[in-house]
Amino acid sequence: MSNPEIEQPQDGSPKEPAALQPEAKQQSESADDEPSAEEFEARAEADQDQREPAATEVDARAERAAADAAVLATSGAQTRRSFLAAAVSSAAAYGFYHYLGANDDAEMQPPPIRDSFRFNASVSRDLFRNKELAPTYPLSRAETLRINGTFGLMMDLQLDSWRLQLVGMRGAAQHARYVRDVTAWDYRYKAPPANEDKGHDSKVDPNLQTANKMAPESMQDKAQEDENHTGRKPRGMAEAGESDSTLPPNTPGLLLQMADITRLPRYELVTQFKCIEGWSQIVHWAGVRMADFLELYPPDKIDGKDPSYVYMETPDGDYYTGYDLDVMRHPQTLLVTEMMGAPLTQPHGAPLRLHMPTKYGYKQIKRIGLIAYTNDKPDDYWTKLGYDWYAGL
């Protein structure tokens, strides 16, 4: 999926003004090449000033503000700090590989229950949409969330190589973080510890090329062929296979850094997290609201209207989720950077994951690498395996 028509210049000429060329050049390899914080700030503000919100948008905003006041508490600016830096050390201390293999999603509900689940989901899918708030709880009831689901997280990400690809944003080509091809961004992974190549076949020679290491034997030729052809590592090697919504190469958009996200107001939320496997836990989350993200990085209109959907993906494309845009604007939908008062760990989706108390756990994607605004109903990992696309509670 992509919306090439969104960013592609109509007349074939480069869309960004000449003055922005330095930032719009081939994707930069290091942070040094990127615009200064002030430069970025100034342009982002200019972006916002250009917006003329429609009356309905203003109403919606006022409604949201009222809803937020009832439930969410913004914390002071003094708590802003470099979560990314903290996350690096905490993730290292955690020992990422200890959890791999210790859990699996094999105990999902069997087919008959899936059917009734689907029925209930379709009856209740509108319940929380926009207005209804999920219950919140006192902090004292929050507990450490178990780790569940490792698709798209098999290797430890080098957090300084993390970027958020954003596709379908209004005015993207004028933005300081614009690049012509977000898919070319090279996420880097930490080499697995020697003799501990979990998640891969330990019989495979570790010196083989990536495609061969990651693919089962039966698929190696095909995987290598694809890698040679596209220059990309194989995707969709997890159970559900490759996403139908994966971006084609040469999709333009923004490559955001963590500071571009944490400049938004920080919110905390104590809510219940529910997995369809039948367990639930009360968890303390912190991060920024997706609704605020959507205001700072608004979707481009398609035929004069907001696109209907948002698609997200892990950096390796192995886990992916789709949402209604409405649900993304729900005041309790958070882009999470912290859990239980500490930076997110890698197994829980560092540096950025989604939490939405109105949806089951499988929509709450960990380690977000891509956010795309689109009018094509996005593919979704668990929907591919037979679960309801809406996943409403």
Considering only 348, 372, 374, 379, the residue that binds ligand MTE (CB under 6 A) is: 348
Q: Using the rule CB under 6 A, give the single segment among 64-72, 239-247, 327-335, 357-365 that binds ligand MTE.
A: 357-365
Q: Shortest Cβ distance from residue 364 to ligand MTE (Å)?
A: 5
For residue 338, give the DSSP letter: E
The distance of closest approach from Cβ of residue 315 to ligand MTE in the complex, given in angstroms and rounded to an integer, is 10
Contact between 238 and 365 (Cβ < 8 Å)? no
Check if the beta carbon of residue 374 is closer than 8 Å to that of residue 1: yes
DSSP 302: B
Contact between 367 and 349 (Cβ < 8 Å) = yes
CA-CA distance, 161 to 188, in Å (whole number)? Answer: 6
Binding-residue pattern over the window 216 to 255 for ligand MTE, x denoting contact by CB under 6 A:
----------------------------------------
Among 134, 309, 367, 393, indicate the residue that binds ligand MTE (CB under 6 A).
Answer: 367
Least Å from the CB of residue 276 to Mo ion: 6
Q: Cα dihedral sign for 277, 282, 288, 294?
A: positive
DSSP state of 352: -
Partner interacting with residue 284 (select from ligand MTE, Mo ion, none; CB below 5-8 Å by kind) = none
Residues 339-368, interacting with Mo ion (CB under 5 A)? 361-362
**Residue among 136, 246, 314, 358 that touches ligand MTE (CB under 6 A):** 314
- Residue 312 near residue 230 (C-beta atoms within 8 A): no
Of 105 and 181, the one with the shorter C-beta distance to ligand MTE is 105
Candidates 362, 387, 389, 390; binder of ligand MTE (CB under 6 A) is: 362
In the three-class reduction of DSSP (H, G, I as helix; E, B as strand; rest coil), residue 374 is classed as strand
In the complex with ligand MTE, the residue whose CB is nearer, 23 or 313, is 313
Spatial separation of the C-alpha atoms in residues 104 and 358, rounded to whole Å: 24
Query: Which of positions 54-83 make contact with Mo ion (CB under 5 A)?
Result: none
Binding flag, residue 319, ligand MTE (CB under 6 A) = yes
Question: What is the nearest approach in angstroms of ligand MTE to the Cβ of residue 242?
Answer: 15
Residue 107 CA to its chain's centroid (Å): 25
Furthest-apart CA atoms within the chain: distance in Å? 62
Cα dihedral sign, 135-139-143-148: positive
What is the per-residue DSSP string for 163-179? Answer: -EEEESBTTGGGSTTEE
Q: How far is the CB of 156 from Mo ion (least distance, A)?
A: 22
Length of the chain, in residues = 393
Binding residues for Mo ion restricted to 268-297, rule: CB under 5 A: 275
- Residue 54's alpha-carbon distances to 57, 63, 68, 329, in angstroms, are 5, 14, 21, 16
Residues 94-133 that bind ligand MTE (CB under 6 A): 105
Q: Which does 152 bind (CB under 5 to 8 A by kind): ligand MTE, Mo ion, none?
A: ligand MTE
366 binds, among Mo ion, ligand MTE, none (CB under 5 to 8 A by kind): ligand MTE
Stretch that binds ligand MTE, among 170-178, 201-209, 324-332, 362-370 (CB under 6 A): 362-370
Which residues, numbered 137-166, are part of the site for ligand MTE (CB under 6 A)?
Answer: 145-153
269 vs 339: CA distance, rounded Å = 10
Q: What angle do CA 27, 31, 32 make, to 5 degrees?
A: 100
Q: How far is CA 41 from CA 47, 80, 260, 334, in A?
A: 10, 16, 9, 22
Total residues at interface with ligand MTE (CB under 6 A): 20
Residue 146 interacts, among ligand MTE, Mo ion, none and using kind-specific CB cut-offs from 5 to 8 Å, with ligand MTE
Pairing verdict, β 280-289 and 334-339: antiparallel
Other C-beta atoms closer than 10 Å to the C-beta of 252 total: 25
Q: Which is nearer to ligand MTE, 252 or 361 (CB)?
A: 361
**Choices 52-60, 63-71, 241-249, 363-371 (CB under 6 A): range interacting with ligand MTE:** 363-371
Residues β-bridged to residue 18: none
Contact residues toward ligand MTE (CB under 6 A) are 105, 145-153, 275, 314, 319, 348, 361-362, 364-367
Contact residues toward Mo ion (CB under 5 A) are 275, 361-362
